[in-house]
Amino acid sequence: MVRKGDEMITLENIEITFNKGTPLEMRALRGIELAIPQGQFLTVIGSNGAGKSTLLNILAGELVPDAGRVMVDGTDITRAPIHRRSSVIARLFQDPRAGICEQMSIIENIAIASARTAPRGFGFAITKDIREQAIERLKSLGLGLEKRLNDRVALLSGGQRQALSLIMATFGPAKILLLDEHTAALDPGAAELVMRLTDEVVRRLEITTVMVTHSMRQALDYGNRIVMLHQGRVMLDISGAERASMQMDDLLQLFRRREGEELADDQLLLA
């Protein structure tokens, strides 16, 4: 059991409803309670509309919940704007174009990201120090990007962009890494490469990570805890030994069984 105070992220009774008071009303999250300890690699799965992207957006600051609290490292950030929480939270997007500036060079993109955790000033952004660090970090990818510092990012493939985004997200000392289906838009080969690089970085930096994915395979292969959302609720939460011995079939069966229970409950309510 995790002692109180060891959690990096605590979500308390998070509620959010979209299109309130209209026929399209949708309760996207219904009282989410989640405590994520420092260094944990959590994967969040669930079908479309389960609330996994909404959950990530609440952590990132793009959405403010109707009720509940978001605590990061002991600080309440529920209502903090995106640019304020970015010094502790780094993020990779699903769209390989979303996390970078296409018309700017690799080194310019890295310079922008390097100021995420440091104050931005009126000194030259691309210093010798940043250039050297960038070369070192890009070398670790093994994609040859360190030789293309002045190339426009628009010239890179989707996989290279996500790899660059990964370097940008972890350039400064972030406490939390949010991965928003960051391999979903890539071809299988690139997806595997980016996922492997992600895993390496997360292990090396021991950064608390929340990855949203719709691939059960990915959720099983990476990370050390799985949370499954269904209709805005936490339906499964597996970690430790149970998580380690879990196979694809077990997970699917568990999912079907819980879904069945849910349906039975609803029918009971309607009756």
Partner 1 sequence: MSLYAFIGALETGLVFALVALGSYLTFRVLDFPDLTIEGSFPLGGAVAAKLMVMGVDPWSASLAGAAAGALAGLVTAFLNIRLRILHILAGILTAIALYSVNLRIMGGPNVGLLNVDTAFSLAERLGLSSRYAPIAILLVVVIVAKIALDIFLSTGVGLAMRATGANPRMARANGVNVDRMVTLGLCIANGLAGLAGALFAQMLGAADVSMGIGVIVVALAAVIGGTALMPSRLVPMLTLACVLGSILYRLAIALALNSNFIGLNASDVNLVTAILVAIALFAPGRKFSLPKWSARATK
Closest approach of partner 1 to the CB of residue 112, in Å: 5
Those residues whose C-beta lies under 8 Å from the C-beta of residue 244, and which sit 6 or more positions away, are none
Report the largest interatomic distance among the alpha carbons of the chain, rounded to a whole angstrom: 70
CB atoms near residue 109 (< 10 Å): 22
Q: Nearer Cβ to partner 1, position 43 or 165?
A: 165
Q: Nearer Cβ to partner 1, position 64 or 101?
A: 101
Q: Nearer Cβ to partner 1, position 19 or 127?
A: 127
Tokens 């949370």 correspond to what residue? 227
Closest approach of partner 1 to the CB of residue 92, in Å: 9
Among candidates 66, 5, 68, 31, which has minimal Cα distance to 235? Answer: 31
Interface residues for partner 1 in 75-104 (CB under 8 A)? 81-84, 86-87, 90-91, 93, 97-104
125, 205, 216, 220: which one binds partner 1 (CB under 8 A): 125
Q: Nearer Cβ to partner 1, position 53 or 86?
A: 86
Those residues whose C-beta lies under 8 Å from the C-beta of residue 47, and which sit 6 or more positions away, are 214, 230
- CA dist 170 and 164 (Å) reads 10
24 in contact with partner 1 (CB under 8 A)? no
Q: How many residues bind partner 1 (CB under 8 A)?
A: 34
Interface residues for partner 1 in 105-124 (CB under 8 A)? 108, 111-113, 115-117, 120-124
- CA dist 210 and 55 (Å) reads 10
- CA dist 156 and 144 (Å) reads 11
Closest approach of partner 1 to the CB of residue 135, in Å: 19
Among candidates 162, 126, 128, which has minimal Cα distance to 143? Answer: 162
Residues that bind partner 1 (CB under 8 A): 60, 81-84, 86-87, 90-91, 93, 97-104, 108, 111-113, 115-117, 120-126, 152, 168
